[in-house]
């Protein structure tokens, strides 16, 4: 391994001079600096991130908390996409990313300790149980953090705009003439709450009364539970004309149930998904769904975190709301508006 020392020997200057020359400090002569840079290159010198981190107290490393709870973590397209753009942006800004977990080998440590142990300059928290005391400890620590789809006090968070999403969806189906709109929602999380509240609000703005039976609970990304909810909706005396699903994957479960009962989409029943996963756009009929802008979310998360790291004084925690886009597929029929 080529070190500063090797270069300084070869050049006949001190290590300090080499360091400064390579870092472009101003107090090194033009000539010397150039020569040093050339020698460094010819010797194949690479800075040692570890040594640098130790000395500077900055690792240029961002921790990422992604927990694969019920297979909806990394495998989920939404989070994969976020992670991907997060990674690209972080790298662009000169940071690497490392996964943070509990229990590294035989060491027992919580997230905060792990992040400290690795000298992470900051951490992005996503796709975890935000009620977990260990998560809370990390979020309240002195380490800069950015959360995704969850707000911690005086912390920056990146939020997909679930409120606008639901507004757009309801408005869209309303325009198509639907008045009997059912919604199947996921478990009780802050995201779910926002969507439901927005759903109710927009419905009431349109003077639509939503019967209790039209609001069904299911589990995110679980086709079975959404199939069940769908069955219950179909069993109602007054069927809805349109069903909103908590995500595209859940929609598949509903789709199967509808097909099983010979209910044609969108002729007999209109449906809307959520997420806009690749699949939903290649199925026929193409699913009408809401695509969250995962690319922007990942990018923003990285950018804001790096800001918090590099300009702690200037930094102001904020909630960044990223809006998505309604993908108009072919699963919402235009119908005669009933009362």
Partner DNA sequence: ATTGACGGCGTAAACGATTAAGTAAATTCA
Partner DNA sequence: TGAATTTACTTAATCGTTTACGCCGTCAAT
Structural contact between residues 94 and 309, judged by C-beta atoms closer than 8 angstroms:
no
CA distance 255 to 230: 9
Structural contact between residues 318 and 156, judged by C-beta atoms closer than 8 angstroms:
yes
The CA-atom distances, in angstroms, between 20 and each of 34, 182, 226 are: 12, 66, 62
- Size, binding site for a second copy by CB under 8 A: 56
Minimum distance between the CB of residue 203 and a second copy, rounded to whole angstroms?
29
Task: Give the footprint of a second copy on residues 72-111 (CB under 8 A).
Answer: 73-75, 77, 80-81, 83-84, 87, 91-99, 101, 103-107, 109
**Could you give the angle at which helices 4-11 and 15-22 cross, rounded to 10 degrees?**
110
Minimum distance between the CB of residue 59 and DNA, rounded to whole angstroms?
12
DSSP of 174-241, one letter per residue? Answer: HHTT---EEEEE-SSSHHHHHHHHHHHHHHHHTT----GGGEEE--TT-HHHHHHHHHHHHTSSS--S
Structural contact between residues 7 and 40, judged by C-beta atoms closer than 8 angstroms:
yes
Determine how β-strand 145-148 pairs with β-strand 156-160: parallel
* Under rule CB under 8 A, residue 68 binds a second copy: yes
Q: Which does 68 bind (CB under 5 to 8 A by kind): a second copy, DNA, none?
A: a second copy
Task: Give the footprint of DNA on residues 18-37 (CB under 7 A).
Answer: 19-20, 22-23, 27-33
Q: Which does 14 bind (CB under 5 to 8 A by kind): a second copy, DNA, none?
A: DNA
Exactly one of 9, 10, 13, 107 binds DNA (CB under 7 A); that residue is 13
* Under rule CB under 7 A, residue 48 binds DNA: yes
CA distance 268 to 112: 52
Determine how β-strand 289-291 pairs with β-strand 325-327: antiparallel
Minimum distance between the CB of residue 62 and DNA, rounded to whole angstroms?
19
Pick between residue 121 and residue 149 the one whose CB is nearest to a second copy: 121
**Cβ-count burial 43-67 (b if 16+ within 10 Å, e if not):** eebeeeeeeebeeeeebbbbbbbbb
CA distance 298 to 152: 18
* Structure letter (DSSP) for residue 264: P
* Structure letter (DSSP) for residue 47: -
* Under rule CB under 8 A, residue 327 binds a second copy: no
* Under rule CB under 8 A, residue 43 binds a second copy: no
Exactly one of 9, 41, 42, 46 binds DNA (CB under 7 A); that residue is 46
* Under rule CB under 7 A, residue 40 binds DNA: no
Minimum distance between the CB of residue 39 and DNA, rounded to whole angstroms?
13
Q: Which does 23 bind (CB under 5 to 8 A by kind): a second copy, DNA, none?
A: DNA
Rg, C-alpha atoms of the chain: 26
Identify which range of 13-21, 81-89, 124-132, 207-215 contacts DNA by CB under 7 A. Answer: 13-21
Structural contact between residues 133 and 156, judged by C-beta atoms closer than 8 angstroms:
no
Percent helix, strand, coil in the chain (nearest 5)? 45, 15, 40
Minimum distance between the CB of residue 319 and a second copy, rounded to whole angstroms?
26
Exactly one of 7, 22, 36, 113 binds a second copy (CB under 8 A); that residue is 113
Minimum distance between the CB of residue 300 and a second copy, rounded to whole angstroms?
18
* Under rule CB under 8 A, residue 335 binds a second copy: no
Determine how β-strand 319-322 pairs with β-strand 156-160: parallel
Minimum distance between the CB of residue 35 and DNA, rounded to whole angstroms?
9
Binding footprint of a second copy on the chain (CB under 8 A) = 1, 46-51, 53-54, 59-61, 68, 71, 73-75, 77, 80-81, 83-84, 87, 91-99, 101, 103-107, 109, 113, 116-119, 223, 249, 252-253, 256, 259-260, 278-279, 282-284
Binding footprint of DNA on the chain (CB under 7 A) = 1, 3-5, 12-17, 19-20, 22-23, 27-33, 45-48, 51-52, 54-57
């Amino acid at each position: 391994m080529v070190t500063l020392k090797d270069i300084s020997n070869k050049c006949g200057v001190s290590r300090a001079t080499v360091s400064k020359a390579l870092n472009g400090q101003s107090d090194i002569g033009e000539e010397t600096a150039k020569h040093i840079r050339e020698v460094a290159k010819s010797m194949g010198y690479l800075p040692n991130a570890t040594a640098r981190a130790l000395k500077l107290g900055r690792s240029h490393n961002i921790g990422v908390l992604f927990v694969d709870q019920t297979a909806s973590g990394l495998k989920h397209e939404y989070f994969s996409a976020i992670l991907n753009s997060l990674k690209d942006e972080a790298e662009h800004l000169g940071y690497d990313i490392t996964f943070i977990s509990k229990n590294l080998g035989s060491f027992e440590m919580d997230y905060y300790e792990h992040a400290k142990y690795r000298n992470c300059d900051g951490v992005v928290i996503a796709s975890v149980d935000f009620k977990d005391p260990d998560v809370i400890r990390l979020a309240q620590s002195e380490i800069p953090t950015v959360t995704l789809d969850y707000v911690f006090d005086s912390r920056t968070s990146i939020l997909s705009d679930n409120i606008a999403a639901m507004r757009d969806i309801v408005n869209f189906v309303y325009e198509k003439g639907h008045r009997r709109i059912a919604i199947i929602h996921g478990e009780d999380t802050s995201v779910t709450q926002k969507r439901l509240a927005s759903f109710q609000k927009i419905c009431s703005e349109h003077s639509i009364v939503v019967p209790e039976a039209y609001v069904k609970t299911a589990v995110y990304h679980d086709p079975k539970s959404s199939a069940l909810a769908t069955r219950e909706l179909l069993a109602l005396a007054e069927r809805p004309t349109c069903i909103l699903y908590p995500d595209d994957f859940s929609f598949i479960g509903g789709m199967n149930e509808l097909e099983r009962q010979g209910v044609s989409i969108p002729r007999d029943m209109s449906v809307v998904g959520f997420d806009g996963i690749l699949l939903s756009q290649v199925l026929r009929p193409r699913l009408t769904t809401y695509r969250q802008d995962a690319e922007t979310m990942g990018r923003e998360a990285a950018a804001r975190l790096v800001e918090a790291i590099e300009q702690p004084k200037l930094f102001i925690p904020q909630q960044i709301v990223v809006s998505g886009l309604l993908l108009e597929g072919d699963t919402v029929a235009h119908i005669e508006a009933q009362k």
